[in-house]
Structure 1
Amino acid sequence: MSYQQWRPGKRVAIAGGGPGAISTGLAFLKRGYDVRIFERQPECKAIGGAVLLSTPVLAVLRSYGMSLENVGSYTVTYFKNKAGLERLKLPFNAEVERCMGIKGWHYGVLRSSAFKKMLELVPEGVIYIDHEFAKYSELNDSVEVEFTNGKKITADILVGADGIRSKVSRQAFGDPKLFHTGIRLWLAWCDYIPGIPENYGMVSHDSQYQASFFPMLHDGKPGFEWWVVEPSWEGKLIPENPKAHLTNILKDWGQPMPRFLEVTDFDTQVYRWEIYNRPSMNKWSTGRIACVGDAVHPVSPYAAYGMGMAIEDGYYLAKSLDGVDLRDPRAVAAGFEIYEKQRVDYVNHNMEFARFLGHMFHGLPWPLAKLRDLIFDYTPALSKYLKTGYLKKAEEETMNLKELQVIKE
């Protein structure tokens, strides 16, 4: 395997070819490192339908050179019950908007559209397809990486960005002890439907299910992402007819949720996921190995943040090693420590918070679920909980990204 630019002290090998891997590669390239990304599939592509990208994620992508024009539209998010009773309107933070130069907080975008824009920023010769990671061997001042096709490469550090069943993470940290979180996600998208207000998104619940939608753009065209979350477990039967299954769930739901069923192609625009997590980790690195994204912190959809967190991880990892000679083990260890200090507690909080919400909305027995719904319908409990448990920490994290602000505090 030959490389035009592969300088000792600057060699970053990345296993995986998803958004976390591409973000990591772009962040290291911006800092003058030599990067090679190894994807096991014949091409790099994002799996799944639409995704919500938050302000800090958009700011990171902007720093790589990605234009935010036509990425998506900001969304005012309402939490409601099944009948349409408003429980909460998520507020915007005017100071975050001003400093970051991005209106709102969440932007809906088709995952493949956003990922395509990221891939366009990657120079030729960086991505190597059909390279599935097999194992690594650490040396004194480098790491040797082997692939199942028999190829080998010597790098200074190896980044595991190879997903929830990461082979890099498994070798580095052992059995991930994956467990089913008790929920199943049906994630879908469709073209624009007239009559729904602009910049309007809804997260709604009854005693068992969540049904939600956000506006989004796909290839610059307006549309919607919508999803349903239901209770699930390991081995639960998969419906033979997903459309009939979801129609039954949504048949008494307040508008506009039932409308999405009729304009969605269930063969190409609907994705089903059983949601798995792993116990929270305190360390995401060892020796010359560090991991990002699902390889160390798979996230429940209740965080609406999985792809975004992986993108952020890559940015923070490269920032923590900025200017470091990667042959120096002590300098690498210090950089990894900075990365973990900035990310681990914050990400674990979001991962655990999302998992708790999933259990609270889909795992409570009927009497407790009824009591929960009464509290959320007629008290400000949900509003206070989301503002302190999610928004406050996310806004603080965003304001700490001073180098990405367009207007300084």
Structure 2
Amino acid sequence: MPALDWRPGKRVAIVGGGPGSISTGLAFIKRGYDVRIYERQPECKAIGGAVLLSTPVLAILRSYGVDPEDFGSYTVTYFKNKSGGERVKLPFNAEVERIMGIKGWHYGVLRSSIFKKMLELVPEGVIHADHEFTSYVEREEFIELSFKNGHQVTADILIGADGIRSMVSRQAFGEPNLFHTGIRLWLAWCDHIPDIPPNEGMISHDFQYQASFFPMLHDGKPGFEWWVVEPSWDGKPVPEDPKAHLTGILKDWAQPMPRFLEATNFDTQVYRWEIFNRPSMKKWSTGRVVCVGDAVHPVSPYAAYGMGMAIEDGYFLARALDGVDLRDLRAVNAGFELYEEERVDYVNHNMEFARFLGRMFHSIPRPLANIRDMIFDYTPLLSNFLKTGYLKKAEEETLRLKELQVV
């Protein structure tokens, strides 16, 4: 492993090896900082199935050097009921498309595929595997990190990107007070299926389940990601036969949802997640320590934005510290505050809005759920709700990324 520069005033230590960590590292490297990424596993590896990435995330990845061809193709998203009746067609923002040079809004991609492309951009010697973080000690002009293997590192700032059970966040902010959100996610993917439109995605609901699909790209080949969300609780038994369980849910669902069952290898292409959150935080930094991604804001799949927001966090954090001598704690804290001003309220809104959607679709008892469904089927309420609660704020956030615009 080559010896890389580690210059006082430029030293950025990142704990965690997921997409948020790698995005943060790439963003700081592009701004001339010395970066070391510490991952507790033998290698950095993305877990889980496919993900949806939105325009601002794609623009950030493009700025790092990820080929836009790896994003796949744009997708038109429909909200429907179980019978296939259309409730909402999410609109594209023509101005966002024009200035960002990216058609549409959401793109589906296998998490491991896009993460591999990100890892290919990381210089050799930046990632240090088999380093399980244990604690840090702050000094006046630097911070010291300790690892389970006995290794110690001196850096100027420490960035916690180590997930929902972050050890960095725990030391900095105390117990995370994680709580179950009341939903379980079955996330799956499969190869391309003929006759299913390649540029359409569907999010559909009955009185208690969500069943959805999206086209995606896997190693340059087309396929589909699909998922089911069901009511759950901490400690709910796991079905012994996931395929039989999901078949029971989808057997009467509108096409094409039932077709994905036979096209999917349930041993290698299906992942189950119990969805936990933590209370919203107003501060993501303290002293020389700051966090990104799930370490401070784990999010429900109803945001379709977990990986995306972590990638954005890293970019915004590096931008806020651009040109700062990281030995200068006052300047560092000013940069952290700018990062928090740009991100905290926006991210908390998305996290809380997604949690609300989860409760609305999966925790309302049957008589009230029937009324909810009638309102969504026959009025524009859901459309207005999604546009004001999600799209409007996301589009405004995108328009502020002026340095990533192409016109």
TM over 0.5: yes
Q: Which residue of structure 2 aligns with residue 335 of structure 1?
A: 335
Q: Partners in 2 of 1:3 and 1:349 — Cα distance?
A: 42
Q: Which residue of structure 2 aligns with residue 358 of structure 1?
A: 358
Task: List runs of 5+ in structure 1 lacking aligned partners.
Answer: none
Q: What is the identity, as a one-letter code, of the residue corresponding to 2:68?
A: L
Q: Cα deviation per residue 1:250-304 (whole Å; 9 max; x = unaligned)?
A: 0100000000000100000000000000000000000000000000000000000
CA gap 1:2/1:98 in 2 versus in 1, 3 angstroms: closer
Q: Cα deviation per residue 1:111-130 (whole Å; 9 max; x = unaligned)?
A: 00000000000000000000
Q: Secondary structure of the residue that 2:168 maps to in structure 1?
A: helix
Q: What is the identity, as a one-letter code, of the residue corresponding to 2:78?
A: Y
* TM-score, scaled to structure 2: 0.99
Q: Partners in 1 of 2:237 and 2:65 — Cα distance?
A: 45
Structure 1 stretches of 4+ moved >4 Å = none
Q: How does 1:84-163 map to 2 (within 5 A)?
A: 84-163=84-163
Q: Partners in 1 of 2:403 and 2:155 — Cα distance?
A: 29
Q: Secondary structure of the residue that 1:267 maps to in structure 2?
A: coil
Q: How does 1:320-331 map to 2 (within 5 A)?
A: 320-331=320-331
Q: Which residue of structure 1 aligns with residue 181 of structure 2?
A: 181
Q: Secondary structure of the residue that 2:91 maps to in structure 1?
A: coil
Q: What is the identity, as a one-letter code, of the residue corresponding to 2:233?
A: W
Cα distance, 1:72 vs structure 2: 1.5
Q: Which residue of structure 1 aligns with residue 231 of structure 2?
A: 231
Q: How does 1:9-408 map to 2 (within 5 A)?
A: 9-407=9-407
Which stretch shifts more, 53-62 or 68-77?
68-77
Q: Partners in 1 of 2:71 and 2:202 — Cα distance?
A: 20
Q: Secondary structure of the residue that 2:70 maps to in structure 1?
A: coil
Q: What is the identity, as a one-letter code, of the residue corresponding to 2:323?
A: G
Q: Partners in 1 of 2:132 and 2:115 — Cα distance?
A: 20
Cα distance, 1:143 vs structure 2: 0.3
Q: What is the identity, as a one-letter code, of the residue corresponding to 1:17?
A: G
Q: Partners in 2 of 1:192 and 1:123 — Cα distance?
A: 34
* 8 Å Cα contact 2:58-2:71 kept in structure 1: no
Cα distance, 1:367 vs structure 2: 1.2
Cα distance, 1:4 vs structure 2: 3.2
Q: What is the identity, as a one-letter code, of the residue corresponding to 2:8?
A: P
* TM-score, scaled to structure 1: 0.99
- Calculate percent identity across the aligned residue pairs: 81
Q: Partners in 2 of 1:197 and 1:7 — Cα distance?
A: 53
Q: Cα deviation per residue 1:123-144 (whole Å; 9 max; x = unaligned)?
A: 0000000001100000000000
Q: Partners in 2 of 1:194 and 1:267 — Cα distance?
A: 23
Q: Cα deviation per residue 1:187-235 (whole Å; 9 max; x = unaligned)?
A: 0000000011120000000000000000000000000000000000011
Residues paired across the two proteins, number: 407
* 8 Å Cα contact 2:2-2:124 kept in structure 1: no
Q: Partners in 1 of 2:402 and 2:199 — Cα distance?
A: 27
Q: Partners in 1 of 2:293 and 2:331 — Cα distance?
A: 23
Task: List runs of 5+ in structure 2 lacking aligned partners.
Answer: none
Q: Cα deviation per residue 1:353-399 (whole Å; 9 max; x = unaligned)?
A: 00000000000111111110000000000000000000000000000
Q: Partners in 2 of 1:50 and 1:239 — Cα distance?
A: 22
Cα distance, 1:3 vs structure 2: 4.3
Q: Partners in 1 of 2:276 and 2:234 — Cα distance?
A: 10
Q: What is the identity, as a one-letter code, of the residue corresponding to 1:334?
A: A
Q: What is the identity, as a one-letter code, of the residue corresponding to 1:280?
A: S
Q: What is the identity, as a one-letter code, of the residue corresponding to 1:294?
A: D
Cα distance, 1:2 vs structure 2: 9.5
Q: What is the identity, as a one-letter code, of the residue corresponding to 2:152?
A: K
Q: Partners in 2 of 1:254 and 1:187 — Cα distance?
A: 19
- Please tell me whether residue 7 in structure 1 is matched to residue 1 in structure 2: no
Q: Secondary structure of the residue that 1:107 maps to in structure 2?
A: strand
Q: Partners in 2 of 1:396 and 1:7 — Cα distance?
A: 37
